[in-house]
Structure 1
Amino acid sequence: MEREIEVKLLDIDILDFEKKIQALGANFVKEEDQINITINSTAHKIYKKQGYLRIRISKSEGEEKKYFTFKENISNIRVRDNIEHTTEISSVDDLINILKCLGYDKFYKGYKNRKKYNYKNLVIDIDTWDEKTYPKPYVEIEAPSINEIYALIDELKIDREHVSTMSIDELRKSLKK
């Protein structure tokens, strides 16, 4: 179980952002390719106020890891505040079959490339999804506190209109409107 306090930065120049954080001294951690499967059910719907279920397959430097997570939503005021309940799994197919037996019938698969940086106490992810999931790259900033997140946003002189607390499912659905 891990607490996660984060925001997304939307509609910014990603290359410029990456140069700025490198100039500040952010450390490149890794680049990974992910398959993210969000899960829900028509019979017993998980509402966004509660959180969401996700399976993640992460590939980096020839290593593959698979995780099953329930992201429990605590708040969406100024930041996304979640508690992640995560376990590593060995078989995605077996887990999906178990979930189907329990009545989960909505599975959305998205593909993402993630570049991960560390700066002070912050984790900075530059995410690029497949066109179908979300066509514009964005940045996620995660920190132990809301103050640390907004201090970096202010230091980089990023306008607050670019800050979002939407989940990827909410972003994806916002494009359909």
Structure 2
Amino acid sequence: MEKELECKVFTDDFNGLMDKAIEMGAKMIAHEIQENILIESNNFDLIDSSDYLRIRISKDIFNNENKKFLTYKKRVNDTNVRHYDEYTIEFDSEENLKQILKFVKLDKQSSSKKERKSFEFMDARLDFDCWDKDFYPYPYLEIEVKNEEHLNEIINKLGINKDQISTESISELRSKLQES
């Protein structure tokens, strides 16, 4: 199990923020095209509403690698940062996994794609994410850190305002967008 502490940063100058991070020493570690498949059941609510199960198919252009992961994210809490306990396995047969999930009634699968440019910066991970416009139209930076103090160091270094930060999941952000 991996503990994940993260938040999203929204800015009017997405590319400018990425350029600033690079100028300050951020090193690219991946450039991926991801397909994320959310797994649920049509028959019952098995997964808590704040948690999720997903398949991720990742084509990493930067490292010339293709990987497939099944991940369960268990939300622990939210304060100034979103905290998940994350359980991930790598697998090789997407079709077999999807069929197994259907057999156990996890038969609702919704897919979305995004481009992600990932950097290592001050011992943190910076993921610059752009989803397909019809899924979520606003690009954002996701910052993964060790603790809240570490997050504060990074946002101060990059000149990010607290009002640009969100701890909402992509599902919560999409729901808000659809309500407006």
Report the TM-score, using the length of structure 2 for normalisation.
Answer: 0.92
In the alignment, which of 72, 75, 79 is matched to residue 73 of structure 1? Answer: 75
Please list every run of 5 or more consecutive structure 1 residues that lacks an aligned counterpart in the other structure.
none
Partner of 1:22: 22
Partner of 1:159: 161
Partner of 1:133: 135
The alpha-carbon deviation at position 5 of structure 1 amounts to 0.6
The alpha-carbon deviation at position 173 of structure 1 amounts to 1.7
Structure 1: distance between partners of 2:86 and 2:98: 19
Equivalent pairs counted in the alignment come to 176
Shifted more, 27-36 versus 91-100: the winner is 91-100
Structure 2: distance between partners of 1:75 and 1:52: 14
Please list every run of 5 or more consecutive structure 2 residues that lacks an aligned counterpart in the other structure.
none
The alpha-carbon deviation at position 106 of structure 1 amounts to 2.3
The alpha-carbon deviation at position 12 of structure 1 amounts to 3.6
Structure 2: distance between partners of 1:108 and 1:77: 29
The alpha-carbon deviation at position 93 of structure 1 amounts to 1.7
What's the C-alpha RMSD, in Å, of the aligned pairs?
A: 1.4
* AA aligned opposite 2:59: K
SS of corresponding position for 1:126:
strand
SS of corresponding position for 1:71:
strand
Residues 129 and 141, structure 2, Cα contact 8 Å, conserved in 1: yes
Are residues 17 and 74 of structure 1, via their aligned partners in 2, closer, same or farther at CA, if it must alter by over 3 Å? same
Residues 53 and 70, structure 1, Cα contact 8 Å, conserved in 2: yes
Partner of 1:56: 56
Fraction of identical pairs, as percent: 38
Partner of 1:46: 47
The alpha-carbon deviation at position 11 of structure 1 amounts to 3.7
List 4+ stretches of structure 1 deviating above 4 A.
Answer: none
* AA aligned opposite 1:32: E
Structure 1: distance between partners of 2:19 and 2:97: 40
Partner of 1:10: 10
Partner of 2:115: 113
* AA aligned opposite 1:21: A
Partner of 2:172: 170
Residues 12 and 162, structure 1, Cα contact 8 Å, conserved in 2: no
Residues 114 and 132, structure 2, Cα contact 8 Å, conserved in 1: yes
